[in-house]
Amino acid sequence: MTATIKIILSILLLLCLLDMPYGYYQLVRFVGLIGFALLGYQANQQGKQTEMIIYIGLALLFQPFLKIALGREIWSIVDVIVGIGLILSIWVSPKKAQR
């Protein structure tokens, strides 16, 4: 389920690079809030505190209620970085510490 959420969020974020109607960006903010909150909850349940903090931070960044005005260029960069990061996180897992 985690991979599905990451893929959906990645697609939505990368589609933000296209010239979409304003309502699409609002939808992405709502879906982003819910998706990143779910990923944060799942990371917390798995004891992955760093991932939980990152996902909760992203949920707060994308939340639609108190909008953060970064400008179209900065938002495009953020969308690409987060979208690619989500895709990479599906295949790349951190190495476990060896004792």
Predicted TM-score (pTM) of this structure: 0.83
Distance CA 93, CA 80 (A): 20
Higher local confidence (pLDDT), 71 or 98: 71
Distance CA 9, CA 3 (A): 10
pLDDT 10s digits, 22-80:
899 999 999 999 999 999 999 999 998 999 999 999 999 988 888 878 888 898 999 99
Query: Could you say which DSSP state residue 79 is in?
Result: H
Identity of the amino acid at 89: S
Q: Is the pLDDT reported for residue 97 higher than 50? A: no
Q: Is the pLDDT reported for residue 96 higher than 90? A: no
Task: Please check whether residue 13 is in contact with residue 28, taking contact to mean a CB–CB distance below 8 angstroms.
Answer: yes
**CA 21 to chain centroid:** 20
Q: Is the pLDDT reported for residue 2 higher than 50? A: yes
Q: Which residues of 59-98 are buried (b: 16+ CB within 10 A; e: fewer)?
A: bebbbeeeeeeeeeeebeebbeebbeebbebeeeeeeeee
Q: Is the pLDDT reported for residue 98 higher than 70? A: no
Name the packing angle between helices 2-15 and 72-91 (round to 10°).
Answer: 150
